[in-house]
Copies of this chain bind each other. A is one copy, B any other.
Amino acid sequence: MLLRRSERDSVLLRLRDGPQVVEGRGVVDLSAFVGQAAGAEVTWAGARYRLLRPSLSDRVQHLRRKAQIVTPKDAQYLLYLAGIGPGSRVAEAGAGSGALTLILAHAVGDTGRVFSYDRRPEFLEVARRNVTAAGFADLVEFRERDVATSGIDEPELNAVVLDLSEPWAVLESAHSALVLGGYVATYTPTYNQLERTVQRLRSLGFEEVRSLELLERELHVGSGGTRPEFDMLGHTGFLAGGRKV
């Protein structure tokens, strides 16, 4: 549940009986709020909070981060590039902090499944905690495995999403793991990585190969008029995708 006091002050936690540790708040006991419906207002530590069912963006904003996360604009477009929706079976590598894992789990829903690989146990641990906190533990299987050397071991996948530094090393294995008509999508920061990825997608016979980037520009609506914001994130990553046919 999201306990929300204001846009900048909210806590995402599981309401349960007895004391629990809440980051930044120490040990707290929220037993009194268990069973309250979404929408209810409660008083906690002298302040009024609204109980809300958390949205995907609430969950992403409350992630513990150990790594740079894929931004929402890119994550949402990766879903589209990779044809991911309710019921999809998806492999992801690496797990990172679990931000993309969470977005994948949200998209595949109860009838889908996400296999999240990482060779670094400390990242898997963070990702697992984040995914569990978001309530998606049942939809995700975490696997400690270096897919660049050992490949993807899960067959009949609808999509493979790669957010790692050498995606080209995994593309052949991804091709084998995909169903016919399935997609692979990658996310990499440099043009050198993009170039090598696209060349490998083509040489492996992937079709519908695409590569692109998305720029997000916030708008400022103020008393002096409307204009783009002065601050902007100039770059996040390049997206590429292909389909096994």
Contact A228 B234 (CB under 8 A): yes
Produce 1/0 per residue, A217-241, CB < 8 A to B: 1110100111111111111101000
List the 10 closest pairs (A to B, CB-CB), nearest first: A232-B234, A190-B225, A55-B83, A86-B109, A52-B181, A228-B235, A192-B225, A39-B180, A76-B76, A211-B219
Considering the complex, which residues of chain A in the window 77-92 have a beta carbon less than 8 Å from any beta carbon of chain B? 77, 79-81, 83, 85-87
**Which chain B positions have C-beta within 8 A of A194?**
219, 221, 226
**What number of A residues sit within 8 Å (CB to CB) of B?**
70
Name the residue of chain B whose CB is nearest to the CB of A110: B86
Contact B183 A55 (CB under 8 A): yes
Say how far A84's CB is from chain B's closest CB, in angstroms.
8
A195 to B192, CA, bound (A): 10
Contact A181 B2 (CB under 8 A): yes
The reply on A199 being an interface residue by CB < 8 A is: yes
Considering the complex, which residues of chain A in the window 29-72 have a beta carbon less than 8 Å from any beta carbon of chain B? 38-39, 50, 52-53, 55-58, 72
A195 to B222, CA, bound (A): 9
The reply on A129 being an interface residue by CB < 8 A is: no
**Which chain B positions have C-beta within 8 A of A235?**
217, 227-230, 232
A4 contact from B2, B234, B245, Cβ within 8 A: B245
A193 contact from B109, B190, B208, B225, Cβ within 8 A: B225
The reply on A212 being an interface residue by CB < 8 A is: yes
A216 to B216, CA, bound (A): 9
Of the A-B pairs whose beta carbons lie under 8 Å apart in the complex, a sample of 28, sorted by A's number, is: A6-B207, A7-B208, A38-B179, A38-B180, A52-B180, A52-B245, A55-B181, A56-B85, A85-B109, A107-B107, A110-B111, A189-B225, A190-B225, A193-B225, A194-B221, A195-B221, A195-B225, A198-B226, A199-B221, A211-B221, A212-B219, A214-B215, A214-B216, A217-B234, A229-B235, A230-B235, A230-B236, A232-B235
A72 to B85, CA, bound (A): 14
Say how far A4's CB is from chain B's closest CB, in angstroms.
7
Residue of A53, A110, A191 with most chain B CB atoms under a 10 A cut-off: A191
